[in-house]
Amino acid sequence: MRPRLTPQRLPEWSTRHPRLTIALTAALTALFAAWLPGMRTDTDSKNMLPATSDVRVLNDRVDQWFGLHKDMIVVGIVRERGIFELDALESLERLTSAIAGLRGVVSVDVTSLTTADNVVAEGGMLRVEPLLPRVPETPEQMERLRRSLMGNPMVVGRLVSEDGTTTAVYVPLERGANGKVVADQIRDLLARERTAGLQYFVAGDPVARDTFGAEMFRQMAVFAPLAGFVMLIALHFMFRSFALSLSIMAVAMVASSWSMGLLVAVGQPVHIMSSMMPVFLMAIATDSIHIFNEFYFRLRETSDRRQAVLETMEAVGAPVRYTALTTAAGFGVLALGGIIPVRVFGLFVGFGTMVIRLMSFSLVPAVMMIVPDRTLETASRREDLQAGASRWLGALGRLSIRHPLAVLAAGAVLLAMVATGIPRIRINNNMIHWFKPQSPIAVADRVMNAKLGGTSLLHLVASTPEAEGLKDPARLAYVEALQREVETDEDVGKTVSVVDLVKRVNRVMQEDRPEQEVLPATREIVGQYLFLFGMAAKPATLENLLDAESRRANVWVQLKSWDAGAVERVVGRVEAYTKSHPPPALTVQPAGIAYFNLVWNHEVLKDMVRTFLVALVVVLAILVVSFRSLAWGLLSFVPLLFTIALIYGAVGLLGKDFDMPISVLSTLSLGMAVDFPIHFIRRYRQRLAEGQSVADALVWTVARPGKGILRNAVLFSLAFAVMLASSLTPYITVGLFIMTMMTLSAVFTLLYLPALVALRPVRRAPANAGFAKEG
């Protein structure tokens, strides 16, 4: 051993001054934790893309051109026997004005039947007024209202459903208003509306987004401690020492405090992604289990406590260091990506991982020094290769050494079966799917999409180079044709543009006959119609459809699905149409929240895929370098590849989207699934270097460090099983994913590595001499 090896000195020092080590750790942790009260949270997943990103700049501009608002909540009122009844419309009227009075709502632009402009002809007089100026009193009046609304293409599918059972209130939010807060206020209002037979629903992107953000933080505050508690109990069963069990949790808490504290200190807000850091760090901290595992075995072999600790650290030091390194690298690679909150997340989890590593060599040995003798004696007595898990693990090891080909073939078959799912993976994100199907948000979205044109809003902005250019009937006709084309898509429920308005005015300016609902012949007429409309209507009605210079028209496209894939299809349809039907000096640009979701999907998820692939290479490189051997590096990579291939194959086969939660987990899985092989191979090669035969060394590795691996996997699974109780599907996904990943990775490590090694020609690893020095 070379004298300069400080990592080895750290355990020496901390075992000599265990209490001082603990005190120092506590002091440093307090220092970092002091920053925590200054924490700012950012629950808005939109902020995954910076405000300066192209799509956000575009959307800001489109909002300005057309006086649009960033976010819109949709409130649905449903009565199955029909909405055209006195009490139902009165309820709508009450709600509309109550909602307009809520803080965070753009009062003047709250749109429902009682506020939306409608152009009608009435005894030679042109009237522009709310669709529902006053609730009709007689059945005849009601019937007349129903007929006039159902015959108005600007209304049907948007404000009233085609079957007349549903009406909607569109609630634009002020900049910076929180969708969940406003939605909660609306729900309070709805709770006070007790009109018989009416059902109310609250849907829309800001509700889903902000509810998810808020819930995520809330549930993290519940599940992180809960998972910690479960782990603590499990650890106690494994090691029978409260102090030792607690020290693993302490490592997790120290790492969380340091990295969260540092995050706050550098002025970063805690984003929905970084809110998951404590859970991830807790998972990573369980790597310390390998230290305890070995320590208990060592205790049986030597009577000197400090000796046992130092030997343990020497034996597991290298694997612990390298597993930390690969995990940190797996996350660190995220910093190469283009998404800032993901970079922050990667960097700080990476930092936390290094803190865990530091604690493994300081805090953990220190705690091992001060645990009372009696506790340890009783506990370590149970650690015997001939007993318990070690015994059947040994049998398992012998099995795979004896029948390596059979074991490998079985694995290959399984892999081949599941791997067919990989090409089927769809990169797609749908925020509604982040809620359980029976949750109010998912139900509201489903009902509204079934009844009305759709809750997801896409804008198609048609621009001309010439001012007043969109008053040209030829261009308007093109916009109309584009609307009809887009409407052929199954997920497009409704489109509205200035064309619909001009046609409407044309009709009422004449004899108000349906066949007169067409575009007029000249630019002049269009101009005067629009001016006329502008004299009578709310300015916003026209502004939302046509910019001030009549250079750009805004087509509102309502989608029935929040799938990024659906938006992509519609945008593709527009592109194809403009190619096959060249427009008259007109360009069409998609925008709006649906387009944002599409770009977000591309940028964030594809970025994740890219960094994931880079991480794979980086981890492999670290393995090869650390083992000083390409063969060992590749070998240690096998369980990881198997695990990932199986999981993603299953994701593909089950038809589950490769979405945000899954993509975050990919990098996590990388860093963690490779831990077990590292422990296995390192310990196996140490054993081999001690002069054992290949078969004996393998069986020993499966039985002894293998028990640590198994413990680690069980611990993980238990902790993350807690998350299955969450109401947010991403947490359930996280829970399931990690449970599966750790179990598979453990199984593949314990089953396949022995088989693969057994197949190799017996050969001493050339880097044996390096083991001690590498540490």
Partner 1 sequence: MLKRAAVVIALTAAVLPGRQVHAQEPPSAGTILAKSQQAFFYAGSDMKARVLMTLTSASGQKRVRELTMLRRNEARGGEQKYFMYFHQPADVKGMTFLVVKYARKDDDRWLFVPAINMVKRLAARDASQSFVGSDFTYEDVSGRDLEADGHTLLREERVGSRDCYVIESIARSPAQYKRKLAWIDRNSFLPIKEEYFDAKDELFKTFSADEVAEVGGVPTVTKRTMVNQKTGHTTTVVFTDVAYGLGIDADIFSERYLREPPRKWVQ
Binding site for partner 1 (CB under 8 A): 61, 64-65, 67, 100-101, 103, 106-108, 122, 124-129, 468, 471, 509, 520, 522-525, 527-529, 531-532, 534-536, 538-539, 542, 547-549
C-alpha distances in Å from residue 5, one per residue of 10, 11, 447? 9, 11, 66
For residue 471, the minimal CB distance to partner 1 (Å) is 7
CB-wise, 100 or 309, nearer to partner 1? 100
| Strand boundaries in 69-153, DSSP class E | 71-78, 117-122, 125-130
For residue 532, the minimal CB distance to partner 1 (Å) is 6
Q: Identify the CA nearest to 108 among candidates 540, 406, 507, 490.
A: 540
Neighbours of 227 (CB within 10 A): 23
For residue 84, the minimal CB distance to partner 1 (Å) is 23
CB-wise, 471 or 494, nearer to partner 1? 471
CB-wise, 110 or 231, nearer to partner 1? 110
For residue 551, the minimal CB distance to partner 1 (Å) is 9
- Residue 475 DSSP SS3: helix
Is the Cβ–Cβ distance between 193 and 125 less than 8 Å? no
DSSP 518: S
CB-wise, 40 or 127, nearer to partner 1? 127
Is the Cβ–Cβ distance between 324 and 356 less than 8 Å? yes
CA distance 252 to 281: 6
CB-wise, 468 or 575, nearer to partner 1? 468
Cβ partners under 8 Å of residue 294, min gap 6: 312, 315, 316, 704, 705, 708
CA distance 507 to 664: 54
DSSP string, 173-206: E-TT--HHHHHHHHHHHHHH---TT-EEEEESHH
CA distance 255 to 244: 17
For residue 167, the minimal CB distance to partner 1 (Å) is 21
CA distance 402 to 393: 14
For residue 486, the minimal CB distance to partner 1 (Å) is 27
For residue 579, the minimal CB distance to partner 1 (Å) is 30
For residue 106, the minimal CB distance to partner 1 (Å) is 7
CB-wise, 119 or 407, nearer to partner 1? 119
For residue 352, the minimal CB distance to partner 1 (Å) is 44
CA distance 370 to 527: 87
- CA triple 112-117-122, angle to 5 deg: 125
CB-wise, 3 or 465, nearer to partner 1? 465
CB-wise, 519 or 536, nearer to partner 1? 536
Is the Cβ–Cβ distance between 400 and 639 less than 8 Å? no
Is the Cβ–Cβ distance between 756 and 404 less than 8 Å? yes
Neighbours of 751 (CB within 10 A): 21
C-alpha distances in Å from residue 365, one per residue of 16, 255, 682, 707? 10, 16, 20, 20
CB-wise, 106 or 226, nearer to partner 1? 106
Is the Cβ–Cβ distance between 635 and 748 less than 8 Å? no
CB-wise, 95 or 203, nearer to partner 1? 95
C-alpha distances in Å from residue 62, one per residue of 500, 554, 591, 593? 20, 9, 7, 11
Neighbours of 233 (CB within 10 A): 12
CB-wise, 523 or 687, nearer to partner 1? 523
| CA 701 to the chain's CA centroid | 38
For residue 523, the minimal CB distance to partner 1 (Å) is 7
For residue 548, the minimal CB distance to partner 1 (Å) is 4
For residue 500, the minimal CB distance to partner 1 (Å) is 19
For residue 475, the minimal CB distance to partner 1 (Å) is 15
CB-wise, 529 or 577, nearer to partner 1? 529
Beta-sheet pairing, 270-271 with 166-173: unpaired
CB-wise, 225 or 527, nearer to partner 1? 527
Q: What are phi and psi of 36, to 5 degrees?
A: -55, -40
